Amino acid sequence: MENEEKILNPQESLRIIRETIDVAKKGVQENGFHFLLWGWLVALASVGEYYLRQVRGGTDPYLIWAVMPLIGVPAALIYEWRRDKKHHERNLVREWYGLVWLGFAISLILSLVLAIRNQVSPVPLVMTLAAFATFMSGLLMRFRPLVLGAAVLWIGAAVCLALPMGVHVLVQAGGIVLGYLVPGYMLNQKARQHHV
């Protein structure tokens, strides 16, 4: 922008707004890291629980879930810390994105406690919450595959109603692959194309 005080006409004003917002939005794009990280962890833990419970007949197969945050939380925190060091900007969309998933995490912990206390399957509750957070992420990033992924998770939660508790984790694994991992890889591909 060489001109010190170029006075714009309405067409030029609109063009400047669109071009600048397009540039700024590129910084808002996520690369799908968290969807891939948690997608793989949840899918593996779900299949692992099913295997330990149904095949090996273990007494405490759900303990596999304790391993998941031990890997996921440090990995996610290190990733965010490194990204903050690289990009100093505060970003409105990213802030909302973080708040949506913070709300998800709080609701998830409460739901797990309620499900265990009432001796009901936590899977439909977890899938419903994950669907909502994924749906909001898709809207915030304007990325339709995440919105469709959320729909898959909602359908998965509803399907659980018709199935015995023992196979709920397999529905969860399938839902996570379609609802998290597929959109996550698509987001990653999109980010690579835009060098995000």
**Residue 32 half-sphere exposure toward CB, CA atoms < 13 A:** 20
| Of residues 21 and 70, the one with the C-beta less far from another protein | 21
Interaction between residue 27 and another protein (CB under 8 A): yes
Residue written as token pair 């692992």: 48
- Least Cα distance to 146 among 183, 174, 172, 187 occurs for 183
- Least Cα distance to 157 among 120, 195, 131, 196 occurs for 131
| Of residues 3 and 119, the one with the C-beta less far from another protein | 3
**Count of residues near another protein by CB under 8 A:** 28
Q: CA 113 → CA 26, 36, 42, 106, distances in Å?
A: 39, 26, 18, 11
| Of residues 60 and 89, the one with the C-beta less far from another protein | 89
The one-character DSSP state at 27 is T
Instruction: Report the nearest approach of another protein to the CB of residue 80 (Å).
Output: 17
| Of residues 80 and 95, the one with the C-beta less far from another protein | 95
Instruction: Report the nearest approach of another protein to the CB of residue 196 (Å).
Output: 14
Amino acid in position 31: N
Interaction between residue 86 and another protein (CB under 8 A): no
Interaction between residue 82 and another protein (CB under 8 A): no
Interaction between residue 25 and another protein (CB under 8 A): yes
Instruction: Report the nearest approach of another protein to the CB of residue 98 (Å).
Output: 13
Please state, in angstroms and rounded to a whole number, the distance separating the CA atoms of residues 75 and 81. 10
The SS3 call for residue 1 is coil
The contact set with another protein (CB under 8 A) reads 1-8, 10, 12-14, 16-17, 20-21, 23-25, 27-28, 88-93, 95
